[in-house]
Structure 1
Amino acid sequence: MKRCVTASLLTLGLMVIACPPLRAQSAGDYRTRDSGNWSQASIWERFTGAAWTAATSAPTGAETITVRSTDSVFVDVPVTLTGRLINQGIVHAEAGRLTIGNGGVYQHDRDGGKIPIATWSEGATLHLTGVVAQAPANRNQPYYHIIFETPALASNLNLGLDNVTIGGDIRVLDTGTARWYLTTTAAYDTAVVTINGDVYVEKGAFAVQGTSNAYSTFIVHHYGNIIVTGGNFSISRGSQPGGTTTWYLYEGDFSFANATTQSSTATPGGAKFVFAKQGTQRLTIGEGSNLQALPIEVLSGTTLEMGESRLAGSGIFYLHADAVLGTALPGGVAAIFENVTGQVTLEDESGYAFNGSVPQVTSTRMPTVVGDLIIDNPAGVKLSQETTINGVLRLKAGVLDNSIPFTLGPNGSISYEGGSLLYPVANETRSELPQTFVLEQNYPNPFRRVTTIRFGLPTSGYVSVKLYDLLGKEVQTLFEGYKPAGFHELTLEAGPLSPGVYWYRVQTAQSAAARQLVLIR
């Protein structure tokens, strides 16, 4: 069945026709033949594989079901949708009547109208396809997955989410010539959205908001990845005077390529992505990126690993003390920001990791007082200015050329983990051998795919590292064997493990300790 929406643009004397792709019919599909209650077989017809015939029973919800544009259906009995409901007309459901089950899809294939009030189970999907100029009513619901695929969209619209949690992924496939916004709110008001899954932008334009309302506040709490491979993904497309838009990334990485990003918020630094994970997150800027403004803040306790990525545009960058910025660029810290016109703030006591594969310099853009400094480059790293290290200088790989000297602060120390110094340091405090047995918290935690367990041994000997579930049942042996004195790291891959809470235990002949880790999907 094919439905076309025709809009007459009188001022231009043009006719625009937007037709969604044909969807092949399958035997057992339902569609309406009239308006009425869901349970009435008489309002339905069913496809036999060759023709549509009068239905002898109402759909169960497991089928592909189309409500045609001329029809209205009232859900008068409990229905759990595990198939696809394509709404081109009106579907009305009172609270508790309609459940979109695991694998079920509600497809809104019309302009305007309304999304039925439903219970959105884990694995359920809202699929927007037919919106052109008017957003549907009843948008503010706690969906699981959301798909934006509106190639005929001609007006900037918002989903109007507030105080809801999106349990799964958001995928932006096509937004036509206009933009979708996650939410909006009135002047001096606040809108909060939580996203537990990943956000994908493939084509079209998507942003948190596009309002010009004064002193409006928008907050996104996000526990997944951001993966942008095309289109326009921006923190803010509204002027929003005096207001703020903040996207907190508590878990997951941010990759961006072949796309544009902007920020229109009038308040300086008022719109930003905040990396907030206690552990390592990655920001990857790929080919074809147009960074007009990508404002970023990195909180204390977070390591932002950027590899060979560079920033550009008018967005701010703020690195807090006790946060760590990692780069593989030969030019070091300065090379990250050479095309940034916005304010860059690198606080004293912030940390830096150099992990390239060709020789690197730290650059004079790095502060002269740092927290941790990590050298993990077999090709070597050269210090560019006299520097005070108040944290740990971790020499993991390669030589740190300290021809320009550094000074260890009162709490500074050096950890030899495979790397070395070109010249010895007068006030060196070595920390390569822990004084006592140490078991650190795994990082990242919680984690999705991979996490690292680090422990320190004051003496060499036999070590056992095992993973247990909450009931104390052994799940996996991570390591058993001899380890020399010093610090050691093990990698745990999620693999077939189920999401949940686990314990990892490290035991030696003299000591034992355990810590909790959390696996999420």
Structure 2
Amino acid sequence: MRRFATILIMLGMGLLPTLPLRAQSAGDYRTRASGNWSQASVWERYTGATWAPATSAPTGSETITVQSADSVYVDVPVTITGRLINQGVVHAEEGMLTIGDGGVYQHDRDAGKIPLATWAEGSTLHLTGVETQAPADRNQPYYNIIFETPNLLSNLNMNLDEVTIGGDIRVLDTGSARWYLTTAAVNDTSEITIMGDVYVEKGAFSVQGTSKAYTTFIVHHYGNIVVTGGNFSISRGSQPGGTTTWYLYEGDFSMENATTQSSTATPGGAKFVFAKQGTQRLTLGEGNDIRALPIEVAEGTTLDMGTSELGGEGIFILNGGATLATAHPGGVAGSIQTLGTVALDTTANFVFNGSEPQETSTLMPTVVNDLVIDNEAGVRLSQPTRIDGVLRLKAGVFDNTIPFTLGPNGSISYEGGSLLQPVANEPIDEVPQRFVLEQNYPNPFHRTTTIRFGLPSSGYVSIKLYDLLGREVMTVLEGHQAAGFHEVTLDAGRLSPGLYWYRLQSAEHVITRQLMLIK
């Protein structure tokens, strides 16, 4: 008897995976036979204690389960604002079934088909029961998609083409296999638009996994990519002679504790293209296995990588007119550590915005367009460089001991930062657009140093020197000055070595900087 009870328990445990993902609630519907949606005899309703024959068909606001042995034909217009769980067959002619705002169609079976529906804003396709065969009729313009298929055993694709996903895609679990957005025949193209965010938490997800030749895949994306686990890759198919391109027109890309790769055989044929006319961020956190994360930055786009390190073997392309911003202490080379092809256009721009000392690195081209120094801790130039655009000194000292030159149209904009050494061919603006006090140079200094300042309009100004206790120790300059740039020499021969503050003051503005006198 005890052995018989044990067998019953084990059989019961074996049935657990086939049970519904949620407990029943009073008012839930499920089928008890096949037939038309509008037939009350097709349905039974949960009373809170037991299932009883329904007296009317579900309205669509409830949780409704079509059981595995049953087929339901939607013969009247129905809008799902609750949850429709399909374990059997749901058939709907075009225009009869709507998944409404907040409504969920849950495909809780292997194979079968997704009913043709109108997917309203705020609706969701939730894939849960797929194991070895994808459902038919899956190329539809969904709003949200959730992949939660923990028993998936085969790599499957959604076959999406020429459709727009209006909301988010969320990958929660793909079992031991992968989900792909789409596929294509030889010499064919599949194109998809995603308006919301893409989240990958667990499992494997990619654009495609085909080995067919000369296929073209294009994703137009207007949201964020947030990867916190699993494998999220641009391409998992060898795709000889083909291309896979994911354009990010809006949003940022972040990845941590995840794997990413690219299997496309065409050199440089698969890539993420940052294409926003503005700033986008690439954040690569801890725990990643970056085998290949191929990236291109389009003209007009600023890719801010922070302190991220791009490893692996993917390409990195910075087009003319594009901008790379880095806070990595190693500069451009610290951010871009990939072993793949690196192409940095000589008309591209570079921004150094770290919080600890940085160097530009020798990976930065010797000819650049704009160069922005925005680091209070300072930035050191690593090799002789020609600046054809604007050198914007926003914060900190730009150590140009290794010199740079200005191209024919090059210029320097002093916006709060300074140069360590003067530049021989620096063009001097006649009138600055703002009140400017540059860092003295040289600094530290032995006896004398030069202080350069700019006034947008004429007026009375003073430059005074203070010790660290705030006591005035010297008046360097005082009086009426014309609009424009001016230089004054500070002779500190009679002062003790140490740190001092110097302050430029007018009737409307005050700017203070620190200098160091050494003996």
Q: Same fold (TM over 0.5)?
A: yes
Per-residue deviation, 1:102: 0.4
Q: Which residue of 2 aligns with 1:398?
A: 396
Deviation, 1:18, is: 4.6
1:351–1:370 CA contact under 8 A, matched in 2: yes
Residue 256 of structure 1: aligned partner: 255
User: 1:224-373 to 2 correspondence within 5 Å?
Assistant: 224-338=223-337, 340-373=338-371
> Shift in Å at residue 220 of structure 1?
0.2
Q: Distance in 1 between matches of 2:17 and 2:24?
A: 21
State the one-letter code of the partner of 1:374. V
Match of 1:448 in 2: none
Whether the 8 Å contact between 1:284 and 1:307 is mirrored in structure 2 is: yes
Q: Aligned pair in 2 of structure 1 residues 271, 42: CA closer, same or farther (>3 Å)? A: same
Report how many residues are paired. 427
> Quick check: which has more Rg, 1 or 2?
2
Tell me: CA distance 1:17–1:24, structure 2 relative to 1, closer, same or farther (3 Å). closer
Aligned equivalent of 2:116? 117
Superimposed CA distance per residue, residues 325-368 of structure 1 (whole angstroms, 9 cap, x where no aligned partner): 11111111111233x21111111111111111111110111001
Greater CA deviation, 158-167 or 323-332?
323-332
Within 1, Cα distance between the matches of 2:223 and 2:428? 38
The answer for the alignment partner of 1:192 in structure 2 is 191
CA contact (8 A) 1:416 1:431 kept: no
How far apart, CA to CA, are the structure 2 residues paired with 1:459 and 1:189? 64
Looking at structure 1, the residues matched to 52 and 59 of structure 2 have their Cα atoms a distance apart, in angstroms, of 17
SS in 1 for 2:68: coil
Instruction: Give the CA deviation at 1:371.
Output: 0.9
Structure 2 counterpart of 1:100, which letter?
A: I
Offset of residue 426 of structure 1: 2.4
Amino acid paired to 1:267: T
1:169/1:199 contact within 8 Å kept: yes
Closer, same or farther: CA 459–178 of 1 in aligned 2, 3 Å: farther
User: Structure 1 residues 22, 250: closer, same or farther in 2, change over 3 A?
Assistant: closer
Is residue 136 of structure 2 the alignment partner of residue 137 of structure 1?
A: yes
Q: Distance in 2 between matches of 1:359 and 1:296?
A: 26
Cα separation, 1, equivalents of 2:307 and 2:166: 32
The separation in 2 between residues aligned to 1:336 and 1:61, in whole angstroms, is: 52
Give SS of 1:364's match: coil
Aligned to 1:4: none
Query: Structure 1 residue 71 and structure 2 residue 76: aligned?
Result: no
Helix, strand or coil at the partner of 1:348: coil
Shift of 1:412: 1.5
Say if 1:129 and 1:149, in contact at 8 Å, map to a contact too.
yes
Counterpart of 1:410 (choices 388, 408, 424) is 408
Structure 2 residue aligned with 1:12: none
Contact 1:281 1:305 in 2 (8 A): yes
State the partner residue of 2:497. Answer: none
What are the ranges of 5 or more consecutive residues in structure 2 without an aligned counterpart?
Answer: 1-13, 435-454, 459-482, 485-519
Instruction: State the secondary structure of the residue aligned to 1:312.
Output: coil
Q: Secondary structure at the match of 1:313?
A: coil
Alignment partner, residue 32 of structure 1: 31
- Aligned residue number for residue 382 of structure 2: 384
Q: Structure 1 residues 20 and 352 mapped into 2: Cα distance closer, same or farther (>3 Å)?
A: farther
Give, in whole Å, the separation in 2 of the partners of 1:423 and 1:368.
19
- 1:513 corresponds to: none
C-alpha separation between the residues in 2 aligned to 1:81 and 1:433? Answer: 67
Letter in 2 for 1:402: N
How far the C-alpha of 1:431 sits from its partner, in A, is 6.4
Provide the TM-score with structure 1 as the length reference: 0.79
Displacement of 1:135 after TM fit?
Answer: 0.2
1:41–1:244: structure 2 CA closer, same or farther, 3 Å change rule?
same
Residue 427 of structure 1 deviates from its aligned partner by: 2.3
| Whole-angstrom distance in 2 between the partners of 1:416 and 1:165 | 47
Bigger drift between 188-197 and 396-405 goes to 396-405
Shift of 1:22: 4.0
Question: Which amino acid is 2:273 matched to?
Answer: V
Structure 1 counterpart SS, 2:413: strand
> What amino acid sits opposite 2:186 in the alignment?
A
> Cα RMSD between the aligned structures?
2.0
Query: 1:334 aligns to what SS in structure 2?
Result: helix
Query: Distance in 2 between the 1:429 and 1:98 partners?
Result: 70
Give 1:405 deviation, angstroms: 1.2
The correspondence of residues 4-23 of structure 1 with structure 2, limited to 5 A, is: 18-19=17-18, 22-23=21-22
Summarize the Cα distance change of 1:110–1:430 in structure 2 as closer, same or farther, 3 Å threshold. farther
| TM-score (normalizing by structure 2) | 0.80
Q: What SS does structure 1 have at the residue aligned with 2:41?
A: helix
Distance 2:316 2:430 in 1: 33
Deviation of the 1:23 alpha carbon: 1.1
Following TM superposition, by how much is the alpha carbon of 1:252 offset from its aligned partner in structure 2, in angstroms? Answer: 0.4
Question: C-alpha deviations, 1:446-477, integer Å up to 9, x for none?
Answer: xxxxxxxxxxx9779xxxxxxxxxxxxxxxxx
CA distance in 2, matches of 1:145, 1:70: 28
The AA in structure 2 aligned to 1:332 is G
Contact kept? 1:416, 1:432, Cα under 8 Å: no
Q: Which moved more, 1:426-435 or 1:393-402?
A: 426-435
Task: Please name the residue that 2:150 is paired with.
Answer: 151
Q: Does the CA contact (< 8 Å) of 1:20 and 1:130 recur in 2?
A: no
Measure the CA separation in 2 of the matches of 1:136 and 1:333. Answer: 47
* Matched residue SS, 1:148: strand
Please give the alpha-carbon distance, in whole angstroms, between the structure 2 residues aligned to 1:22 and 1:202. Answer: 19
Aligned residues: percent identity?
76
What do residues 257-313 of structure 1 show as CA deviations (whole Å, max 9, x unaligned)?
Answer: 000001000000000000011110000000000000100001111100001100111
Q: 2 CA distance for matches of 1:223 and 1:459? A: 45
CA distance in 2: counterparts of 1:327 and 1:387, whole angstroms: 18
| Cα contact 1:415–1:430 (8 A) shared by 2 | no
Between the aligned partners of 1:372 and 1:128, the Cα distance in structure 2 is 48
Q: CA offset at residue 432 of structure 1?
A: 10
Cα pair 1:414 1:432 within 8 Å, conserved: no
Letter in structure 2 aligned against 1:136: P
The offset of 1:435, in angstroms, is 7.2
Amino acid aligned to 2:383: Q
Offset, 1:25: 0.7
Cα 1:115/1:422, change in 2 over 3 Å: same
